[in-house]
Structures are given as C-alpha cells and as structure tokens.
Chains A and B, each alone.
Chain A
C-alpha cells in the first residue's frame, strides 16, 4: 500500500528564513503528488501539484524519484504562510488521495 510520510509534526521558522517541509512516499512507480494547505479556520485547499511545475505563493516542490521525496520549499517565509501542510499522493487510476499526517508550520515575526 502506498504511504506518505511527513517526518516533522511541527516546524517553526522566522520571517524571511527559508523553509522546507519534508515529504517521502513509498510507491516505487510514478505517483501523482500534491501539497495541500489548511490555513486557520479555512478548508483544505490545493497548494500545488508536481505535474504542473508551478510556483504558488512562492512555494515550489520537486519530485525526486531516487529519494522518493517531494519536499516543499520557499526561500523566504512570510507570517501568512503559517498553516498546516499536507503532502498527498495518488497512484494509478484509483484517484484516491493518500495523505501524510501533516506538518504545522509557524512563521514567527
């Protein structure tokens, strides 16, 4: 079964510092990978998807098949980036999302 691991439950950085949220997946094939974000009192929303190769709100994520990782990065964190971040994968044509447990990012002023 596919598994998504986010090793950090909590991550705290200062404003302007770089941030990296780690995500590893277990599937050896070619999964679709996503980062979802949940801001305080808001619903879960898609931040970015690896296949689109976009940069959303300054965040990027690169798929590393060798390390089976999909880490989320931002060079200069902002206070409004404080939120819960979930990494998720979809394998094959089953279209069901498998989520990690999430990382709570706090950006301090």
Chain B
C-alpha cells in the first residue's frame, strides 16, 4: 500500500500475556520509529531504526519491551508480561530522511491490557 500499515488495529489481552505489534513502513523509507500515545497525551518516543539496526532505543520503558526489524523493512514491537499500564495506542512511523524529514504515521495499534 501507499502508507504505513499497522496490524492489528486493536488488541485486547490479559495481564501477563505476550503481545506482538507489526508495522509495514512506506517502501524505500529506511528510518522507522515506534511511539506510544496514551489518552490525552502526545506521542512518546520508544525506538528508532535506521535500516536493520536500532539506532536509538532510549525510549523503551523497560526490558519487557523489544523491537526488531530484521530485513530493514517490516518491524515488530514485542511486549512481554504485559501490564495494565501498557494500554495505549502504539504508533509506527517511517521517514525517507532521518532527523529532518517528516514522519509518515500509521493509524496505530490500540492495545488494551485487562
């Protein structure tokens, strides 16, 4: 497709379960970002990939969160032992130029942890 695609759009899980969220960026965009948006807040940075490598993972809140991008395109955000506080909309964005280029966002994956 033409835009950033995120799946699933909605995920409801139980506390303690493992979750994977997928992002398919715009073709040719080497920069990929994960953000998290809680209700009434702006997007909060989690991790940035340039190609296959995580160039900046300083926003990951703890070691339960992990993300990969093995072939430099699709990325998966993985959350282990989910907690109720992990409930949020997880946003993926891609960019042609890291740093100064505009980000193109997907519609997000809404995660609800019961």
Partners in one complex: no
**CB within 8 Å of A: which residues of B?**
none
Binding site for B on A (CB under 8 A): none
